């Protein structure tokens, strides 16, 4: 009797193993399959929450002192390449150069751009809802054309919760004619972290779970920056590398551009060097 039960148990176990293997991607080990499924879920979540049809573009006007010579352009006149803010946008927004008003829980968020102009000075300005400069600085674009990450200095005032801000990045194509600047701009709003997200972040055990949590909370700046940290921590991980490339493609990074980046730790404010 015991032998018959044992044989039955073995048969049932074999069936279970076959069923489990049938649900794994062909040719992958269980660990690889889990990574693949997690990667698929991550990119799909980012598509859903930041590029879904339900998102509405936000009308953005030109702030006082920010419209030079009646034109705001995304490229230098001697180039066919333009600066790209690595933020989501609707199809209409892409045509008009209008990104969303993105939310952030960061006191000093990190900004991401594709800049095709090496050797130029650039200006970054952060403006509050009253049209006042919270931060303004110039710095040298000393990298090859590609992705840049801008980190704000710890000396500037913290972004205030529930306040909306405008950022402007200008590549100074001709220092003698600031109307010729290549300019991109957008808006963000700092919100308080929700209790649900706070509890969720306390439970995460891996960076990809943290990225997923930020995506579900519609926090673009945190999503992209944390995904970059994941890519930096595991540069040999093919799935993470693919996720990073897919997300950059979603925000309009041109083909064949290297997916590595240069980090700029922006200096303290030097407003006197800025021209309006």
Q: How confident is the prediction along the chain (276 residues), in pLDDT tens digits per residue?
A: 444 455 555 555 555 444 444 443 433 333 333 444 444 488 888 888 888 755 654 443 333 333 333 334 578 988 889 999 999 875 544 445 555 789 999 999 999 999 999 999 999 999 999 999 999 999 999 989 999 999 999 999 999 998 999 999 999 999 999 999 999 999 999 999 999 999 999 999 899 999 999 999 999 999 999 999 999 999 999 999 999 999 999 999 999 999 999 999 999 876 544 444
Contact 98, 106 (CB under 8 A): no
Signed CA dihedral, 8, 12, 13, 18: sign only: positive
pLDDT at 49: 86
CA gap 106, 191 in Å, rounded: 8
CA gap 178, 166 in Å, rounded: 19
CA gap 179, 276 in Å, rounded: 9
| Domains of the chain, first to last | 26-273 (2.60.40.3780)
Q: pTM value?
A: 0.78
């Amino acid at each position: 009797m015991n032998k018959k039960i044992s044989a039955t148990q073995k048969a049932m176990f074999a069936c279970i193993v076959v069923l489990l293997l049938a649900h794994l991607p062909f040719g992958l080990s269980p660990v690889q399959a889990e990574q693949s499924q997690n990667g698929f879920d991550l990119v799909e979540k980012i598509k859903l929450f930041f590029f879904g049809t339900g998102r509405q573009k936000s009308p953005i006007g030109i702030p006082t002192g920010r419209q030079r010579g009646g034109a705001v352009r995304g490229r230098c006149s001697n180039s066919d390449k333009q600066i790209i803010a690595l933020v989501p946008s609707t199809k209409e927004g892409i045509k008009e150069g209008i990104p969303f008003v993105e939310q952030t829980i960061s006191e000093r968020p990190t900004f991401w751009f594709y800049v095709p102009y090496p050797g130029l000075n650039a200006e970054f300005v952060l403006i509050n809802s009253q049209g006042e400069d919270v931060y303004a600085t110039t710095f040298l674009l000393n990298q090859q054309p590609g992705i840049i990450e801008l980190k704000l200095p710890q000396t500037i005032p913290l972004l205030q919760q529930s306040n909306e801000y405008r950022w402007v990045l200008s590549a100074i194509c001709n220092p003698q004619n600031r109307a010729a600047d290549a300019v991109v701009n957008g808006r963000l709003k700092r919100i308080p972290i929700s209790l649900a997200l706070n509890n969720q972040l306390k439970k995460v055990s891996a960076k990809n779970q943290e990225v997923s949590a930020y995506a579900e909370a519609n926090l673009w700046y945190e999503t992209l920056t944390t995904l970059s940290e994941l890519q930096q921590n595991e540069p040999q991980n093919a799935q993470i590398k693919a996720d990073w490339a897919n997300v950059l493609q979603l925000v309009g990074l041109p083909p064949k551009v290297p997916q590595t980046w240069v980090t700029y730790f922006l200096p303290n404010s030097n407003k006197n060097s800025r021209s309006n």
